[in-house]
Amino acid sequence: MEIRVTDTQLLDWAGDSLAIGLFEDAVELTGDLATLDQKFAGLLTELIAEEEFKGKLASSVGTRVGGTATVRKVILVGLGKKEALKLDTLRRAAANAARTAKKQKSKTLALSLPIWNNDPAQTAQALAEGVQLALYQDNRFKSEPEENSIQVEQVDLLGLGGQEAAVSLANQICSGVILARQLVAAPANSVTPVTMAETATQIASEHGLQIEILEREDCEKLGMGAFLAVAQASDLPPKFIHLTYKPEGTPKRKLAIIGKGLTFDSGGLNIKGAGSGIESMKMDMGGAAATLGAAKVIGQIKPDVEVHFISAVTENMISGRAMHPGDVIKASNGKTIEVNNTDAEGRLTLADALVFTEKLGVDAIVDLATLTGACVIALGDDIAGLFTPSDTLATELEKAAQIAGEKIWRLPMEERYFEGLKSGIADMKNTGPRPGGSITAALFLKQFLKETTWAHLDVAGPVWADKENGYNNAGATGFGVRTLVHWVLNEA
Ligand code: BES
Ligand code: MN
Ligand code: ZN
């Protein structure tokens, strides 16, 4: 699919589907729209009245134009209240129009939508993202594609002539989001620690990043007893992935991104029981997927900042070699952990990843992890939990997420709750009481850093969508890639 920017006017565009954005309670047709309505013999007025179209957020109506018009179909997209217009509303409106155009069997689509905040670049980028993310389809695991329907091949962004750079930025970002979606959606017999390492190696060679894959023996030498304890029941070799993007010259800042990379989480001997969603646990590498997706984007944009992308990848399985509940293990910073629950495995893999990353001497570390069901209970499916002792980093990430259209919400790192992780035998337990479970998980992670500025995003909810919503299809969302990219670009 090709996305073009053009100064062609609404009245002059010729093609299959023309989508027009209208604000709530401002659906009376004036100016060009009145002229267009005349050209279409009053069709727009009729459509608005018949469908009781009010311009409400996320609403849309479409119809055939007919006659001799140069446009075959028209789509009206609701934008909600004018005062409340957000960049993400436009991303969603573009998605909405694209889905409708596809149903209309259109090959070409034009978007006539307002410019957000007098910022044509951000607007063009958001529209291009919305269209591509909504039209993404995953047929990899079907013997035949489900539908052989006509695809939208060309999208024209009207009134946005000259914004080519914004569209190519959107294309780069979407390539990372789509990679993350593909990795998360693929089942655990398809995406394994081995294939994750292969994907990272491919990103490195395609976009000129450095790559280091630590094998089990390398991790042993580094004393990564926590990561390896999780990996020990799997028949597949663990892979510790370290990708480095280095700009030319001396970088302004050095950043690191860590992703939890459990290609499957059975729970271990504390096996996930009925109703725990064990069959969805192929998505437990959503943090690593976002990390690799971000690496792919950063490798293309080449900003003036050094970025390390890290994931300790394995699966949490059962076998005669599995961790026993109650085992005491030792992480690479020397701290001992009583594993009172083998299903709290993500924090064990992250512990060694954090120790490794801090030694790189970076200015800031952000980790993304599908870490706790408790975070989903707290914030629901759409919102990631943000945990950090640093107000500055919190603000940076909130700003990045805002512009990306991804939702994050800061939760407190209440130090007293660390008491819940006190162990009678080791330095700490890996699991505390159920209340505040996402907070004790974050406090656990903090034990593996000395002083580096750090934030943790618990993405257990938003990496997966049960239903289609805006530009997210049902299934993997690629959550995190866009926030990470904006964060890195803002630091450059
Ligand atoms: N991968 C899960 C967390 C998860 C749950 C992600 C639901 C996505 C959806 C994690 O490894 C886990 O099992 N966490 C336990 C922790 C508990 C044992 C302290 C949980 O949340 O139940
Ligand atoms: Mn688990
Ligand atoms: Zn897990």
Q: Which helix (H) or strand (E) holds 42?
A: none
Query: Is there a binding annotation on residue 2?
Result: no
Query: Is there a binding annotation on residue 260?
Result: yes
- 268 CB less than 6 Å from ligand 1? no
- 340 CB less than 6 Å from ligand 1? no
| Residue identifier of the C-alpha nearest atom 7 of ligand 1 | 373
339, two tokens: 């594993």
ipTM topping 0.85? yes
Among the atoms of ligand 1, which is closest to the Cα of residue 276? 7
Neighbours of 89 (CB within 10 A): 25
| Residue linked to tokens 């076998």 | 319
CA of 374 relative to ligand 1 center, distance in Å: 8
- Of the residues 343, 381, 445, which should be mutated to test ligand 1's pocket, given the most ligand atoms within 8 Å of the CB? 343
Among the atoms of ligand 1, which is closest to the Cα of residue 272? 13
CA of 453 relative to ligand 1 center, distance in Å: 25
- 325 CB less than 6 Å from ligand 1? no
Among the atoms of ligand 1, which is closest to the Cα of residue 281? 1
Task: Say which ligand is closest to the CA of 436.
Answer: 1
- 343 CB less than 6 Å from ligand 1? yes
Residue 407, exposed/middle/buried by CB under 10 A (0-12, 13-18, 19+)? middle
Q: Which helix (H) or strand (E) holds 191?
A: none
Sign of the C-alpha dihedral computed for residues 162, 164, 165 and 171 taken in this order: positive
The pLDDT value given to residue 201: 98
Could you list the active site residues? 272, 347
> In this structure, are residues 176 and 296 in contact, taking their beta carbons and an 8 Å threshold?
yes
327, two tokens: 């085992």
| Residue linked to tokens 């952990």 | 337
> What amino acid is encoded at 405 in this protein?
G
CA of 221 relative to ligand 2 center, distance in Å: 26
The pLDDT value given to residue 69: 80
CA of 465 relative to ligand 3 center, distance in Å: 17
Using DSSP bridges, classify how beta strands 60-64 and 71-78 pair: parallel, antiparallel or unpaired: antiparallel
The pLDDT value given to residue 337: 99
* DSSP codes of every residue in 280-318: GGGGGGHHHHHHHHHHHHHHHH--SSEEEEEEEEEEE--
Query: Is there a binding annotation on residue 105?
Result: no
The pLDDT value given to residue 487: 98
Distance CA 353, CA 310 (A): 7
The pLDDT value given to residue 149: 76
Among the atoms of ligand 1, which is closest to the Cα of residue 284? 1
- 374 CB less than 6 Å from ligand 1? yes
CA of 438 relative to ligand 2 center, distance in Å: 13
- 284 CB less than 6 Å from ligand 1? yes
* Grouped pLDDT means (10 residues each) for the chain, 492 residues: 96 97 92 95 96 94 89 97 96 98 96 97 98 96 81 97 98 98 98 99 98 98 99 98 96 97 98 93 99 98 98 98 98 98 98 99 99 98 98 98 98 98 98 98 98 98 97 98 98 93
